[in-house]
Structure formats: structure tokens, C-alpha cells
Amino acid sequence: MSEYLPGLAGVPATKSNISNIDGEKGILTYRGYPLEQLAANSSFEETTLLLLDGELPSAHSLTEFDTQLRSNRVVKYHVRELMKNLPATGHPMDMLQTAVASLGMFYPGNEYLTSGGSGGDLDYVHNMTVKIIARMATIVAMWQYIRNGYDPIAPRSDLTYAENFLYMLNGQEPDKLLAKILDVCLILHAEHTINASTFSVLVTSSTLASPYNVVAGAIGTLSGPLHGGANQKVVEMLTEIGSADKAEEYIDSRLKQKKVIWGMGHREYKTKDPRAKILQRLVQDLVSARGNSVNPMFEVAKVVEDICEDRLAKKGVYANVDFYSGILYTEMGIPTDQFTAIFAVARATGWLAHWREQLKDNRIFRPTQVYIGHSARTYIPIDQR
């Protein structure tokens, strides 16, 4: 009998050279480059191309790629009309999954996915990648206006990826500091080895489904509170605590009841998530830039982290990437229920890098199971039961 490991914990699902985690030391690298170096020196556009192609691009290659992203931000009005007919109260992740899946109907091209050699069509793979990454942010920003009964703001090609998203979301010239912070947040969320949503990408890709359906499936997986939805839960938790002086009682009560402390702990890391360290520094930068005039949620978060470190560090539980990201998004004017959608916008880069890698050496996933049901039985007619 095959050994059963719940959650496939520690079971290799693929070979990859995209990213790597050293959970004991708290190190995350993209294509061998430490995340800290990319956050400090790179841009989301450059990091995206690094993840997709495997090497830091030349200035010419980066400019060409950036130009392609900018020219593909606009979506057909059919997508906008579809979004207008979705319930305004629906969660942005449900909207995003629906809209991305629909792109395959409005932007055909899936006929290339007919055999295991599909990954060899580099033009097809590249073009599909560019279109999806460019339009993810557009769709998320459009939803903020559409669900409130307004026509969305058109994207601008003179702005960076992060700047354009903030412009489309708020309708104002983007604050340069907030745009830079968002750019770093996108880098931090772009890739993280074989997590649940990326595993979904591998499985769906292996069937030669369209990349739109591959990403749509990953969005559904990311939406759960045990994956991408945790950053929304962190802000809700901090709001519920209310003030720093109430944090200790709140945390101790949850620990006593064995309830989750949102934003704390990660299956891969036995020390503080390296992404959380970078995000915390971004919070501090924002505090300094604004002369300490920022959301009091920051102070609550710092006290909560100190309390949790005192109570949980011995168990290897520290702050993860979700703990500070939602706080920063709040400062950018991003609604709480849009946090996970922003996560998806960034992670589409990693998903599509794995899609490309899977196509190059594809074999459909077909895991086995450990059967624990009845042995063979004889059917009993209904009048004899």
C-alpha cells in the first residue's frame, strides 16, 4: 500500500528552477536571486520577465516587454459588459475568476494547445502570458467602479504597472511612494514555489487546458482563507482588536480557544517570513514619510506581532506575508475585499512561469489514492433491503 501523507506534505510534485525556499533560514530566491535584492533594486516588470525567462533581462528586452504590457491593458467592452451583469455584492475573487475564464471566449487562440509539444510555440506562450498579466490588474481595478454603478476608468500607457493600477482604482494621479510600495508588494507576491494555487496550475496545465482556465482555476484555489484570503482576515482581526491596549487579551483568548491568529505561521518557514520583514520595513518607510500620521492599525499590528512572537516563537510561528500586506493596501485606498485579488494579480506571474515550465515537459497528473472503503459487495435489490 502506498503511504498516505495528508496535504501531500513534503511530496515532490515537479522539478522546477523558478523559485526556492529555505524555510529554516527564512530565505526565498527567484531564479537564484535573493528576494531582498529584487525588492530593493528591481521592478515588478523586470521581476516578471526574470521569472518567465529565467534571467535578468537586458535594458532593450525589458523595454520591449514593458511596452507589450502597456499596450495590452485595455480589455474588450464585452468583458466590461459581462462584469456589469455580475452581482455587485459578489466577492472580487469570484468576479476575477469569472472574468479571466471568459477571456478565452473573447481572445481565442487555444487551438495551439493540441499536444505535449505546445510549449515549443514560443510566440503563442509569450503572447498569452503578456495578455493575461497585463489584463489582470485592469480587471480588478475596473470592478471597483463597476460594482458601484460607474463606468471604469480607462488604463493609461504612460504609467508603470503599479502606477496604472492605483490610477485606475482611485481615479487620481498615483502617489509615487505608494506606487513604489505597491510595486514591491507585487514582487513579493509574484512567486512562492509549489503552494496550493501553483499546484492547481500544474494539474490544470497538464491537461492542456487554456492558460485562461489555468489561471482561473488558480484564482479559485487562492481565494480560500488558508491561502490568499488571509490578508483580508488580518485586517478584519486588527480592526476587531481596535487598539493596542486590547491586543494581549484578544490574542491570549484566541490561543486559549485554539483559534487561528491570522497572519501568523507558515508551513514552509520556521522563522519570520522574509517577505514579512520587507513589508514591515515598507510600513516603517511610510510612517517616516508621513510624519507618523498613518492608520493606527500599524501600532496594533506591531503589538500583536510582539505578543505572538513571545507566545509562539518557540513553536516556529512568526509573522507571514499576509500580516503586513493588508495594512499597506489599506493605506493605498484599496478596499479590504480586494486584497486577495491584488495577490492574484501579482501571483499570475508565477502561475504563468509554472504553466510555461509544465508545457515544456508535460505529463498529465494522475495521482493514486489509499482506498479505505468496502471490499467487493453484491448488489441487493431494493425490495430485499
d(CA 78, CA 128): 19
Q: 301 with 248: CB under 8 angstroms?
A: no
Q: Give DSSP secondary structure letters for 293-308.
A: -S-THHHHHHHHHHHH
Residue with cell 502617489: 175
> Which among 189, 266, 273, 354 is annotated as catalytic?
266
Among candidate residues 66, 183, 322, 354, the one labeled active-site is 322
Tell me the C-alpha distance between 275 and 268, whole Å.
13
Active site (annotated) includes residue 266:
yes
Query: How far from 61 is each of 46, 68, 156, CA to CA, in Å?
Result: 9, 11, 21
Bridge partners (DSSP) of residue 21 are 28
Tally of CB atoms within 10 A around 181: 22
322 given a catalytic annotation: yes
The most distant pair of C-alpha atoms in the chain lies apart, rounded to whole Å, by: 81
Q: What DSSP character marks residue 263?
A: T
Grid cell for residue 323 = 500580516
Amino acid at 236: E
CA distances for 203 relative to 14, 96, 355, 362, angstroms: 11, 20, 10, 10
Provide the annotated active-site residues: 266, 322
